[in-house]
Structure 1
Amino acid sequence: MNGKLLRRYLVPVAYLTLLIVMVSVAVFLLLELIPGDPVDGLVPAGATDEMRELARHAYGLDDPLLERYFAWIGGVLQGDFGRSFTTQTPVLTSILERAPVSLELAVLAMVVALAVSIPVGVWSAYRPGGLLDRIATAFTSATLATPSFVLGILLVFVFGVQFGLLPILGWVPFAEDPVQHIEYLVLPVLTLAAGECVLLTRILKGDMMATLQQDHVLSARARGLPTWRILVFHALRQSSFSLITVSGVVIGRLIGGTIIVESIFSLPGVGTLVINAILSRDFIVVQAVVLLSALIYLLINTIVDLAYPWLDPRVRQVKTS
């Protein structure tokens, strides 16, 4: 591995390390910047000043700021995010118990978004102004103008209340009843996927329209190759690099952004855990979730950045030349 290629991998890793340090500092200071006193969540209403001081000392809240940061980050590096102020259970345990729900929701939403966006984007680029393109344009315009929580409420009203086709609220584990598990996932997944379909479809359509005008595609058409072969093997692969890059951003955003959807559909995921922690002023739980969400987002984007030269040989040639 030559020096330029090695630098290609070391620079993103160095940036990732720096960003992780900056994020950890910002997340820790979150507790200091939030209005109110964290002790309010540790003592009962009407507690005396002595009780408040004892609670502050027990949780190390009276230590110097820098000392508390290093104590907190040292525990995080060992997998110890502290204990919940309200339940006294390890924060990491609470997150791991709820993480499968949020991860399943985010991954399925991403799969649905790609399954819809790829064929629609490809055909819209091949037949711009056609029926499918006009329908897709109308759908994307309507979706852009509709916040996710409004879309979720509309889906609940139409499919749950009006027609009674799908359950509205709640959660059934897959091991308990696979069919009901899927039924309870349909509306939340559609709510999340709809917004991402807009972004992914537009990106792929724009890249595909440019690729279809390139010489190698025009040459394939002149040779009489089938349309599906030209679109899939000659145009889609070259047009998918922006899609892959953005997909990394989207999946990271979905993992950390299911809070509203989980709240609407009463799903026992990490988003619901955060909302409950905010309401009870259990800020140590909020700190852990924000930190882990940011780390996942940064890691996914770094992996996509490192993998990009292997996905697009042209980038590898430029970087190593």
Structure 2
Amino acid sequence: MQNQFLRFLLWRMVQFLPVVAMATLTIFSLIQLVPGDPAATIAGEYATAENIEAIRHSLGLDRPLWEQYGIWLWNAAQGDLSNSLLSGLPVMDEVLRRLPSTLTIAVLALCIAVIVGVPLGVLAATRADTMLDRLVTGIASLGVAVPNFWLGMILVSIFALGFGWFPTTGARPISEDFWGALHHAALPAATLATGGIAEIARQLRSSLIEVLQSQYVRTLRAKGLPNYLILWKHGLRNAALTLLTVIGLVFNHMLGATVATEAVFAISGTGSMIVNAAINKDFPVVQGAVFVLVLIVIVMNLIIDLFYSLLDPRVKKG
């Protein structure tokens, strides 16, 4: 069994290599489509054509695109994501400095979404077609529809400015002050978690209703098995694969949505760094930061696949 799992893990990692390669090509290609010349931005408003061309040559921007991509990919494989065009600092160092704040918000938001969304989904499924079910479904639909940036401003107005329970802006390094970091991340995480709670509750409700109405569960009821045992031992176990899929998708969405959330709460994270770099046409920073976030998404998908194999042995044979 252990050897089979290791083979499955190795095979999945090999399968993800083309995904990573395609992601790097996509990121590099999209960056090239962004209007503007980084060399002109660095040179300034009154620079001559000769100055701009000299900067382009020093940065390697006058080389063919395939050569630029090959150099960037080779360096990225060694952990070198180039340097910022404006500050001159290594992009990898800047990303690693800001990434913990982004991950703290996203992971905390995911925990909130699972802790709240799973009970709501179970409650709605076990009370299907009742007033309680319709209430949970309605709240879930509202949670999906509400924009994150608007909800963030409302939460700041009520719980930060009104009650003073949470800080309005900023973040703390989780490595230096664990509880302080969670305190600062609470409102941004709650903002992100709203849509995740709604999505998890809706999908789990649908999956559980399908399982609980199956012939298999009817047979268990006919044998006299208690409802709570049917729900927790059989219902949730059969719905676990759907739940894992939704959790993976929700986390990936949260990671992308941190861009708007960090702007609302003035958090110096990866999302805000990408926005600022895009405005200033600092393309190596945008390219490197997006690449790191894509790698995190790919790793998250790999982890979900591993949980699939643990919950359903048939996945290893697929």
Q: Distance in 2 between matches of 1:194 and 1:208?
A: 21
Cα distance 1:37–1:117, how it changes in 2: closer, same or farther (>3 A)? same
| 1:252–1:297 contact (8 Å) kept in structure 2 | yes
Q: Percent identity?
A: 38
In the other structure, the counterpart of 1:272 is: 272
> Is the contact made by 1:169 and 1:265 (CA closer than 8 Å) also made in structure 2?
yes
**1:183 Cα offset (Å):** 2.8
Letter in 2 for 1:164: G
Cα distance in 2 for partners of 1:32, 1:177 equals 40
Following superposition, the deviation at residue 29 of structure 1 comes to 2.0
Partners of 1:177 and 1:9 in 2: CA distance: 35
Deviation at 1:164, TM superposition (A): 3.3
Match of residue 52 from structure 1: 52
Alignment partner, residue 249 of structure 2: 249
Using the alignment, how far apart are the partners of 1:56 and 1:259 within structure 2? 30
In structure 2, the residue matched to 1:158 is 158
Aligned to 2:201: 201
Aligned residues of 2:98 and 2:270 also touching (Cα < 8 A)? yes
* Corresponding position of 1:62: 62
User: Is 1:77 matched up with 2:50?
Assistant: no
Per-residue deviation, residues 74-123 of structure 1 (Å, max 9, x unmatched):
11111100000111110000000111111111111111101111111112
Change (3 A) 1:5 1:226: closer
Match of residue 313 from structure 1: 313
The one-letter amino acid paired with 1:84 is S
Amino acid at match of 2:313: P
What are the residue-to-residue correspondences of 1:1-321 with 2, within 5 Å?
A: 13=13, 15-174=15-174, 178-316=178-316, 319=318
Counterpart Cα distance in 2 of 1:60 and 1:180: 44
- Provide, for residues 23-73 of structure 1, a one-character-per-residue CA deviation record: whole Å limited to 9, x for no partner: 212211233211111113322331222221221111111112221111111
Query: How far is the alpha carbon of 1:147 from its aligned partner?
Result: 1.3
Mark the runs of 5 or more structure 2 residues left unpaired by the alignment. none
8 Å Cα contact 1:41/1:86 also seen in 2: no
What letter corresponds to residue 161 of structure 1 in structure 2? L
Distance across 1 between alignment mates of 2:21 and 2:174: 38
C-alpha contact 1:112 1:193 (8 A) present in aligned 2: yes
Residue 20 of structure 1: CA displacement?
Answer: 2.0
With 271-280 and 306-315 compared, the bigger mean Cα shift is at: 306-315
Are the aligned partners of 1:151 and 1:191 in contact in 2 as well (CA < 8 Å)? yes
Aligned-partner Cα distance in 2 for 1:291–1:175: 24
**2: distance between equivalents of 1:173 and 1:266?**
15
TM-score (norm 1): 0.88
Quote the RMSD (CA, aligned, Å): 2.6
The one-letter code of the counterpart of 1:206 is S
For residue 304 of structure 1, report the CA deviation from its aligned partner.
2.5
Question: Do the aligned residues in 1 keep the contact of 2:114 with 2:197 (CA within 8 Å)?
Answer: yes
Amino acid at match of 1:104: T
Q: For the residues of structure 2 that align with 1:227 and 1:125, how far apart are their CA atoms?
A: 13
Q: Which moved more, 1:16-25 or 1:195-204?
A: 16-25
More displaced stretch, 271-280 vs 281-290: 271-280
> Quick one: which amino acid aligns to residue 165 of structure 1?
W
Take 1:13 and 1:170, find their aligned partners in 2: how far apart are those partners? 37
Q: Which amino acid aligns with 1:76?
A: A
8 Å contact 2:109–2:190 — kept in the other structure? yes
Deviation at 1:175, TM superposition (A): 6.0
Q: Normalising by structure 2, report the TM-score.
A: 0.89
Separation in structure 1 between the aligned mates of residue 255 and residue 39 of structure 2, nearest angstrom: 30
User: Which ranges of structure 1 fall in alignment gaps of 5 or more residues?
Assistant: none
Contact 2:263 2:272 in 1 (8 A): yes
CA drift at 1:15: 4.6
Q: Residues 171, 12 of structure 1: CA spacing in aligned structure 2 closer, same or farther, 3 A cutoff?
A: closer
Partners of 2:300 and 2:186 in 1: CA distance: 25
Contact kept? 1:109, 1:193, Cα under 8 Å: yes
